Amino acid sequence: FRFKESLAEHLQSADLVISHAGAGSCLEALENGKPLIVVINDKLMDNHQLELAKQLHRDGCVLYCNCSTLVETLQSMDLSALKPFTPGQPEKFASFLDKVFGLQ
């Protein structure tokens, strides 16, 4: 895809999402309940995409690979093993911070 303002329409009809490991892209797919394969851009300087992909994989929510192993990942994937993504609860964290700083 070239840049689009929203991928919501495509996500709703997708059976599988293959994406880079950007946080926004990952969360959007997972929050829509779609199975996700993240493809790491290992040429990035600090390789932060790998950190996110590994954590989401440890949580059981995604499969991950790099460009050279994408075909192998697609051939061997078991999407039934993926767990549903549980969104965070930012309001609880905000409430905690309010208490710590005496704002509540």
Q: Is 91 helix (H, G, I), strand (E, B) or coil?
A: helix
The DSSP-derived string for 31-60 is: HTT--EEEEE-TTSSS-HHHHHHHHHHHTT
Contact 77, 55 (CB under 8 A): no
pTM of the model: 0.80
pLDDT at 5: 82
Q: Report pLDDT digits (tens) over 42-77.
A: 777 677 889 899 999 999 999 999 999 999 999 999
Domain boundaries, the chain: 7-101
> Can you name the CATH fold of 7-101?
Rossmann fold (3.40.50)
Helix then strand count (H, E) for the chain reads: 5, 3
pLDDT at 49: 85
Nearest to 38 by CA among 5, 51, 87, 9: 51
